[in-house]
Structure 1
Amino acid sequence: MAQISSSQVEPLVQRLTQLEQRLRLLLLVRGFGALAVAAVVSIGAALILDLLFDLGPVFRTGLLVLCALTSVWVGWRRLLRPFLSTLTAEELAAVVERSYPELKERLVSVVELENPDVPEQHKGSPLMRELLARQTLKQASRVPFHRAVPAAPYGRRLLLGMSLLAMMFVPSLLAPDSYTLLLSRLFLPWQNHESVGFFLFDVEPGDCVIPRGDDLVIQVTVRRRAGLGRFPDVVWLQTQAETGGIEKRR
């Protein structure tokens, strides 16, 4: 924040500095909330798409990259850039005056006139500046600067982000195995993962070797994942012969 030279307005400088610290903290709070919302929404959408369409490794990799880019962009735009931006004394004074119009731009005027970067010939009479400073300080002493930046709007964004983040853990309580598999498919898309659906198929006898010409009895048991979904009315069995031919049976 730009410094004001006159010792007469030093209390005003301190109050504006405190307001700047409060504003930076609230921007940080809002930024974390926005980042949490972006991360949860993008990851949640990717998991739902994979659950519905059983995406391949290439598509899952693309979704992972998209989630990462979204989080980085929101983190920079909503978190780092506002937090690292420079706030001048004039800007902080304008923030206060937007909430307290009864100051009638006196606060901004005092800050601008006491700024050492402004040439003396542009500041006017020293006597008038001193009178303006005294009147402004007296009136500003009754104004709570911190209320010019209420915490509620910033806190709501953080609360929303934390709520969505907590909701990400709910599926791990309802269907831990399926949810872990979905997360593995998204964050480790290059590995060979099984499909995630509403049903599990237990095939017996599984891998086995029998003499040529003997009958093979295949028994399939269908189970629902975490009680989700309705049992299918028809199940198809697809087999592939050594010659490459494919046969389907109900």
Structure 2
Amino acid sequence: MSVKNYKTPTGWRPQTLEHKKDKDPVDVICRIKPLDQDSGEQCITVLNSRAVKLMPPPTSYTFRNSGKEQYYKFQHVFSPEASQKHLFDQVAKPLVADLLQGKNSLLFAYGVTGSGKTYTMQGTPEDCGVLQRTLDVIFNSIQDYQAERCVFVPDCMNGFDVQTEDEAAESRKALNTQMNVNKTPRTQRQRIVSTPAQDIPHRIPDGSRVHTLIEDNKYAVFVTYIEIYQNYIYDLLEQLPTTSSSSR
């Protein structure tokens, strides 16, 4: 690794790549949504891979009052032509690699209504977004190192407990019994939570993987999927109680 020195008030200090990363813990990425046909005038221009120019359309109120160009810089700018795969590989896949190394990772999508957040995160069955690709890469990567079910169990405090093989076997037996009890015809269920392969048979998975796993580790995956709407939090994976068709 090359080391570059720079002057500080207290003398010379080496600047390494790790030090630079510590100074920039958050990357702000901009993705430009393609302009829909007949949807209006283009108001944003990509200047280079890190900067955009924002110019209010001549018909807008902002243009009539100021008309000033505004320039914004980001760590990276993705043009409207950027594919879902390219964006995932550049933005989200490094976070997945960090996660599998035991580090915390966060990707936060922000933008006005209609700016393309849902498409970026979910995509389409033929061209998946960040969410599906993340799960694909995680399971592709840990398939040889995945622990048996119920060996690791959540402790409801953002951690987990490790069970013995006998305890794990009992837990698996209880889960299988519960799943059999909850099996009812689709017409009698308020909601069915199923795998993507059942509801989206033509989904094209991401086949890439992370190759830097620690071989002595065992991996278990726990997923929460929530929605915050009008100050209420909804668990989108919650198993709702069965109801008969007459009571709905």
Q: Which has the larger radius of gyration?
A: 1
TM interval, short-chain normalised: under 0.3
TM-score by length of 1: 0.19
The structure with the largest helix share of the pair is 1
TM-score by length of 2: 0.19
The structure with the largest strand share of the pair is 2
